[in-house]
Amino acid sequence: MKVCIRLGKFEVVESVYDWFRQSGHDPSVVMYTTLIHSRYSEKKYREALAVVWEMEASNCSFDFPAYRVAVKLFVALNDLPRAVRYISKLKEAGFSPTYDVYRDLIKMYMVSGRLAKCRDVCNEVEIAGFKLDKETMSQLLQLEMNTIRSQTSNPVSPFELSEGGEVNNAENSKSHNEDGISEPYVGMEFNSEEAAKTFCDGYARRLGFSPKVGQSSRSKPDGQPVLGNFYVAERV
């Protein structure tokens, strides 16, 4: 069956599987995995998914190749929740994800724009002793730059000033999503002073500080005091 997949003879794989079942035999995990891989290679993802459910219904124990092909199938279906669940099952069964499994998961998180999750998986990759390939690193960098542009171009302040000048949390407002950029970097540009304030406010909050408004005064040469607002951050 594996040779037929390499040769692109997918119909032969199906015929062998049907013959085996009709002979009264129960497919092994290897045969199930091979059939899933065959349908995956033929881009018949829904048909391959039916085999996964058949395996589950028959209480067939998954081995590492079975988990691996199942994860690849869920990635092809853009089914992030099931991909994550089967990777968890893989780990619970005592297997360690290979680099391609990690890479597929990172790409799914990138498609959904979940930068923080990408970083979490990247940390796992590093701990596992793998190194990201150049293509994946380039895609992650592009996602991060796009996130930065989105934040600086469409700022939404998480604070609003009361009449007394205190800073209150603005109800039902967010400056960054959970996958936003977590810290500033050298050369970061903003469209306005308000955009810069919004970003810094959000950064301070994520570090556990509460930004507040204060006032300072200085004397001009003619003796007139000049009042100015400044922002300080206190540990919450």
The domains found in the chain, sorted by start residue, are: 2-148 (1.25.40.10), 155-235 (no CATH)
Mean per-residue pLDDT, 34-55: 93
Cα 38 to Cα 10: distance, rounded to the nearest angstrom: 6
pLDDT of residue 8 exceeding 90, the answer is no
Torsion angles phi and psi, residue 224, rounded to 5: -75, 130
What Rg value do the Cα atoms of the chain yield, rounded? 27
pLDDT of residue 159 exceeding 80, the answer is no
Chain segment 103-125, per-residue pLDDT in tens: 988 988 988 888 889 889 999 99
Q: Among the listed ranges 45-59, 150-164, 201-215, which one has the minimum average pLDDT value?
A: 150-164
Mean per-residue pLDDT, 154-167: 44
Portion of the chain with pLDDT greater than 90, in percent: 31
Calculate ∠ Cα 154-155-158, nearest 5°. Answer: 145
Residue 18 neighbours by CB under 8 Å, 6+ apart: none
Bridge partner residues of 78 (DSSP): none
Of 232 and 34, which is predicted with more confidence? 34
pLDDT of residue 65 exceeding 90, the answer is yes
What pTM was computed for the model?
0.59
Of 130 and 203, which is predicted with more confidence? 130
Q: What is the pLDDT of residue 221?
A: 56
